[in-house]
A and B are shown apart, each in its own frame.
Chain A
Amino acid sequence: MIKKEMIAMLLAGGQGSRLGVLTSKVAKPAVAFGGKYRIIDFPLSNCINSGVDTVGVLTQYQPLRLNSHIGIGIPWDLDRNIGGVSVLPPYEKSVNSEWYTGTANAIYQNLEYMESFNPEYILILSGDHIYKMDYEEMLNFHKEKGAECTIAVMPVPIEEASRFGIMIADEERRITEFEEKPAQPRSNLASMGIYIFNWKTLKEALIAMAQQPALDFGKHVIPYCHEKGAPLYAYEFTGYWKDVGTLHSYWEANMELIDIVPEFNLYEEYWKIYTKSDILPPQYFSAESRVERCIIGEGTDIHGEVYNSVIGCGVTIGKGTVVRDSIIMNGTVTGENCELYKAIVAENAEIQNYVKLGIGDETQNDTAPHIYNHGLVTVGEKSVVPEGVTVGKNTVISGVTDRSDYPDAYLASGKTLIKAGEQ
């Protein structure tokens, strides 16, 4: 008989539209992070490090990169005879076929998958946070308290609390009330979107609420359980946890890795982060190169100068090029004599010689100021920036662009240059 005490369901279907062109071709959990990782590596590594060896990954938006990254789970040791990692896309049914319409709806559509493992507990995770957490400790807390649902929370500054789902708990950590993005927060315990449910409780709630459109954990399932009087508890987490939902927070989280002793330390032996890496060779530094305050992935060739930056695997930085405060992802080639300031360059892009990125004033972005801000230059994957152009701040470039797209070889601050079509 197959039996697993706890299995994890990892929600990885979202687009993450506030990451702009970074997620135009890939789901947010598959976005590169920290030189060689992808965001989903963090929850997956947490699972295996916590002894959770059965993980269902729910995909929907642009799953190709995610599928090929996860494969059969070898890098995380999740290739198991029983359990292991399973990718769960929405599928056609004899009646009521639909996409995943909400977080809890996605879980509801996979009741059968969960049932097959006879679990006691279900761990619900989302694929867009950077953190290290021992889910086993959270499970111990859940059992100790006799909870039916435990919600991981972390204390946030009270002035930021109105951006989160806020939990109000008594001394025993039992949740008495909760508020979704309250204007006047009465507590600073923000939900991290990590839940442990008793399987029976979850199953009952999902079936009861099945007809609810866009069934969501925060909006529907948790309130339902609360109304039924199920004991809900808040598990407080105080370690490093970063939501990389916006370009600026994504950039910031990357930059935090280059501190001398970073708060989020990738070099700890006892809690390794695993990833699928194809590129093995060491990095090469030419005689003219300069690097300071950087982390750099495998197989990268540095001929220029790199400061305060996070560089991925298999990147080339040409001679005479200066890179500052930037993120350059896997496989991107930067030509000679370029200047890059506060740029985020996605995978396999090409920055040709004498290109300058991030020059000029901080004019607001003309199409999506809520996405492209803080003076960042964002270049989408497989994009080409032609030789000799200068690009301002709060700009975005996507697609194979050529000189005709840049009047006077210049893209002013705040401009958007997205070339549609096949890349």
Chain B
Amino acid sequence: MRAIGIILAGGNNHRMRELSQKRAICAMPMAGSYRSIDFTLSNMANSHIQKVAVFTQYNARSLNEHLSSSKWWDFGRKQGGLFVFTPVVTADNTNWYRGTADAIYQNLDFLKKSHEPYVVIANGDMIYKLDFNKVLEYHIDKKADITVVYKEHAETANMERFGTITLDEDSRIVDYDEKPLEAKGDTVSCGIYIIRRRQLIDIIEKCAEEDRYDFVKDVLIRYKDQKRIYGYKLDEYWRNIASVEDYYSTNMDFLKPEVRDYFFKQYPDIYSKVDDLPPAKYNPGARICNSLVASGSIVNGVVENSVLFKKTYVGNNCTIKNSIILNDVYIADNSVIENCIVESRSTIKEGSVLKGEGAPRIVIERNDRFVM
């Protein structure tokens, strides 16, 4: 594909509650064996984008560890590859990324040194499959300056993130509302854009001159009449992880056969870092019901309607219901966990009873762990 990719993997927000302490949303474990950024990265790899930059600044350790090798997504090429850009102090800049446009500006050299004519910009916290070649074809077809991927009838939780849009008959965006107080429609921007590289450099440089830092507010909304901004409709599954509720429900979506079939069985595949874990093991007393279990887990208890991530240990006589257990959690014998999200590397003491009321409860427990 004649484009480079930019993944905005910047931040986290208060609506992720305690889950935001540890990592950026992009690095959130997802669907048992993946992390959120895998979906966008895999989409780029599968669209044959050869050069991808990931902009990140919020607690990037998890993300860096995950992206430590570009082999997994097949970006380990001599031409191109995977680049991770965190903010750096230079003679003329000591700022963090002050916004998405600023993140691009601070790394403008990456754009200038590339020679591909187009840029695909996407956020790293979205769960979807998309062939960017189709979006680019549409973009060229419409003679658009910028193409914005949108989704109709999106759930309200996603409204304020990238704004709602209004289109004319030709799919040109005529109105763009950022974080509307009262949503005019339920057509939302998915936070995925295609733009000509030279055009992007011009716009971003102009933004920087005027001390404007946000891609949505200062580029898309400000330029909506001046530039030809078109919408590309995404019909398939798309979710954005912006809150604990989104996170919980998106993971639970993977218990549905149609969602699993779409992501796991149909071409193309989603890739992730390989962890070299042994197969999951089920000892006497295990009873698993409508659940996903990732490799390296050992289960001795009852698991219902839950997602168990890698290396989960479930002790004897435990019951886990409607919960999400993140990587490397140890649950000692006789524990009950219901409606919870258990943060990775937690150790749950023997006989614990943890139940969420209404919203899923977030459990972070750092206890000593004695393992053979």
Q: Is chain B's binding surface mostly helix, strand, loop or mixed?
A: loop
Residue of A nearest to B284 (CB): A292
Interface hits, B19-72 → A, CB 8 Å: 31-34, 71
CB neighbours (8 Å) of B269 from chain A are 280
Which of B292-300, B343-351, B353-361 lies at the binding interface? B292-300
- Interface mask (A29-52 → B, CB under 8 Å = 1, otherwise 0): 000001110000000000000000
Q: Is B1 an interface residue (CB 8 A)?
A: no
Q: Is B276 within 8 A of A284, CB to CB? A: no
Q: Is chain A's binding surface mostly helix, strand, loop or mixed?
A: loop
Q: Is A185 an interface residue (CB 8 A)?
A: no
Q: Is B149 an interface residue (CB 8 A)?
A: no
Interface residues of B (CB under 8 A from A): 31-34, 71, 255, 260, 263-264, 269-272, 274, 276, 278-296, 298, 303, 307-309, 372
Q: Is A286 an interface residue (CB 8 A)?
A: yes
Interface residues of A (CB under 8 A from B): 34-36, 74-75, 258, 260-261, 266-267, 272-275, 277, 280-287, 289-299, 302, 311, 313
Q: Is B32 within 8 A of A281, CB to CB? A: yes
How many angstroms from the CA of A286 to the CA of B286 in the assembled complex? 14
Q: Is A291 within 8 A of B279, CB to CB? A: no
Q: Is B290 within 8 A of A290, CB to CB? A: no
Q: Is B294 within 8 A of A285, CB to CB? A: no
Asked, given contacts A292-B283, A292-B284, A294-B281, whether A285 binds B289 with beta carbons under 8 Å apart, the answer is yes
Asked, given contacts A282-B307, A291-B288, whether A260 binds B283 with beta carbons under 8 Å apart, the answer is yes
CB neighbours (8 Å) of A313 from chain B are 279
Residue of B nearest to A276 (CB): B274
Q: Is A296 within 8 A of B292, CB to CB? A: no
CB neighbours (8 Å) of A277 from chain B are 274
CB neighbours (8 Å) of B279 from chain A are 34-36, 266, 295-298, 311, 313
Asked, given contacts A75-B276, A289-B289, whether A267 binds B298 with beta carbons under 8 Å apart, the answer is yes
Min CB distance A317 to B, Å, is 12
Asked, given contacts A75-B274, A75-B276, A292-B286, whether A284 binds B281 with beta carbons under 8 Å apart, the answer is no
Q: Is B291 within 8 A of A285, CB to CB? A: yes
Q: Is B33 within 8 A of A282, CB to CB? A: yes
Asked, given contacts A285-B288, A285-B291, whether A280 binds B33 with beta carbons under 8 Å apart, the answer is yes
4 residue pairs, one from A and one from B, having the closest CB atoms: A282-B32, A35-B279, A266-B278, A285-B288
Q: Is B31 within 8 A of A282, CB to CB? A: yes
Asked, given contacts A282-B33, A286-B290, A289-B288, whether A267 binds B278 with beta carbons under 8 Å apart, the answer is yes
Residue of B nearest to A259 (CB): B283
CB neighbours (8 Å) of A284 from chain B are 255, 260, 291-292
